[in-house]
Structures are given as C-alpha cells and as structure tokens.
Amino acid sequence: MKKVFLAELKENDKVDDFFILKNTDAKTDKNGNYYLDLLIGDKSGDMICRKFRATNEEIERAITGNILRIKGMVKEYNGSKNLNAIAIEVPHEELDFEATDFVAAAPIPPDIMLEEIKNFIKKIKDKDIKSLVIEIYKISKDKLMYYPAAKSNHHAVKSGLLFHMLRMLKSAEALSQVYENLNMDYLYAGILLHDICKLDEMDADEQGVVGDYTMEGKLLGHIIMGIKQIEKTAERLDIERETVVLLEHMILSHHYHPEYGSPKKPMFLEAELLHYLDILDARIYDFQNALEGVQPGQFSDRVWVLDNRNVYCPILGGNNAGHEANNIKNNQSSIKKQDELQMKLEADGK
C-alpha cells in the first residue's frame, strides 16, 4: 500500500515508498563510480531519482516497468525537486498494490474517448479521406486504448494519445464555428493521423509506460512512418493522388521546423492549423500538468519542456480536465439517446 504520492513531496521530506520505474540510465561520475539516473512515477506524476554509488545489484534491479521500493530524501536541484535515493529494493513478497496508484492516466476513460473520436470520423464527408482514416484506425484501435502520446513531456500518460487527439479535434471543431470555408475533412484527418505511428515508434506496455523506442522509431520516427503508412494504405484503396499527397504533407510539416523533424513548413491552411492545434494542446497540457499539487498563489518547480519556467497558479485559477470528462460523458449519453430514438422511429415506420 502506497503511503505518499510524488506530487505531495516537499524538499527535505524523507521517503520510504513504492514507485514505478519509467526510465533508467546507469552513468559514471567524474571519479568513475556508477550512479543511477532514474525517472520514477506514480499516478500524481514523475520525478527524477538518483542513486549515487550504485551497486551492481541495484543496477540490475533498475528495469523499466518494475515497481521498486525506494528510500531517500527529497532535494531541490536547479529549481526542481529530485529524490536522492539511499536504497533501492525489489519487493520480495507479493504486495497488495493498486495498479492505479502507479500509473498516471488520461482523465477520461479510453472507451469514451474512442467513441467520441469515431463520431468525428463520421463527420468526414470525403469518401476517400474517410475510408483511409477508417482503414488505418482498424489496425490501430487496440493500442490506442492505452498508448501515451510521448515517452516523456506532453500527454506521457496511459491513453494520452487518445486524449491529445480528442482535444485537438474539439478545438478544430470550435475553430470551424469562427472561420468559414475551412476544409474540415483534411483538418480532422490530419489530426487523426499526425501522431498515429507513435503506436509503432514507441514500445509501451498496457500501463502506458514506454520502455524504449523501436528500431524503426529510432531510425525513421513517427513522421516518416506515418507517411509510409498513408502511402501503402492509399495505394491499396486506390485513392486520388492529390488527396494522398496533401495528407502526407500535413504529417510531414506538423512539427514545422527541420530540427524537430519537419523538412517542409505547412503550405496550405489546414496543414498550418494542424501544427498550431498540436502546439496549443501540448502547451495547455504542460501548463496544467505543471500545476498539479501546486497551491493557488504559489509557483511550480521549473518545467524543462516550458523552457525551465516556473509556472504560477493563480488564486482564481483551476484545472478543468474533470469538467471536460463530464462534458464528454454527457455528450455520449445524448448521442446514445438520439440513436435509440432514431431506431425507434425507424422501427415504427416499418
């Protein structure tokens, strides 16, 4: 049974508790001594943990995905809290763990998110684009239920990829109410396909913990892998060439800069919007995640992905992810009632 969660820890707190190991790296210090540079986690978030003068046994125990008992003290380093471990142990007996204590997950159940995403696919009017998306999702849906959107940083939680895409789709739909003449078929498809090959880029377990990148993930990355998948699927479905190239361009350009993996910048409006919707959702997630456990009127630790900024929690602020989950559940209920009414009307008409 866990006693404390990472988000609750403060500087100089003594720790003796269980955590899941999310990343591990054995290094040597300037004197040639081994130390472990770890990323540990629980449902409240992640924390860097270092074990200096690590023994061979401790290095062997440090396997990604393992639950470890860690004793140590919380210290601040460069504006962020770290756990300095004095001992790392593997539990010897079967302990009564709650899996949900160790794995951060999206705030909405994956089955609800997947159904909502299916509703967005139904909104695609172009038959070629819709058939391409459906075909790719047929082979992807099992992994989508638990895959994170990243190994670390934004949406690096169980079902995080679904959550990321769903919020982008909802944001795109809102944009369409403001800006007329957007091609929503391309925008919805671009959102649905832009990160889909992260399912093959990363090697994650069913708890959403990424052990490593795959061979193709390291050598090609999800952008090139995504273009290849569109090309093969479109050829099989005999889809018009311009449609294929525009979708491939959206995938190719959505990181915007060559140093981030995109050799071309967006060259049509919907591709440009895809990039900014992606950045917008990632930034919102990073800010909200940084404020987990931070009291109103206080600052977070430094956040590396936000250029080492300390994020402030306004006294009148708050995280609305819970409200979003309720809204989606209510929407699902409404859609189900509409479907039931339609079936009844059709039955009465026969």
Q: What is the mean pLDDT of each run of 10 residues along the chain (350 residues)?
A: 85 92 88 89 87 88 86 87 90 71 87 95 97 94 91 83 96 95 97 95 87 92 96 96 97 91 94 96 89 84 84 71 42 47 51
Residue 92 sits in the same domain as residue 145:
no
Rg (CA), the chain: 22
171 and 27 belong to one structural domain: no
**Residue 301: per-residue pLDDT:** 82
Which amino acid does the sequence have at 34?
A: Y
b vs e for 151-164, b when ≥16 Cβ sit within 10 Å of the residue's Cβ? bebbbbbbbbbbbb
Residue 30 DSSP one-character state = T
Cα 172 to chain centroid, rounded:
19
Residues in the chain: 350
Q: For residue 332, what pLDDT is reported?
A: 44
Instruction: Supply the pLDDT for residue 330.
Output: 47
Q: What is the pLDDT of residue 8?
A: 85
- Same domain membership, residue 119 and residue 59: no
- At residue 259, the pLDDT reads 84
Query: Does the residue 342 lie in any domain?
Result: no
DSSP conformation class of 268: S
According to the model, what pLDDT value does residue 95 have? 67
Count the neighbouring beta carbons within 10 Å of the beta carbon of residue 342: 10
In terms of domains, do 67 and 207 share one? no
Residue 114 maps to a domain? yes
pLDDT of the residue at 335: 42
Distance separating alpha carbons of residues 267 and 270, to the nearest angstrom? 9
Q: What total number of domains does the chain contain?
A: 2
Q: What is the CATH number of the domain that holds 88?
A: 2.40.50.140
Which of 101, 120, 141 terminates a domain? The answer is 101
Q: Are residues 123 and 145 in the same domain?
A: yes
Q: Is the pTM of this model over 0.75?
A: yes
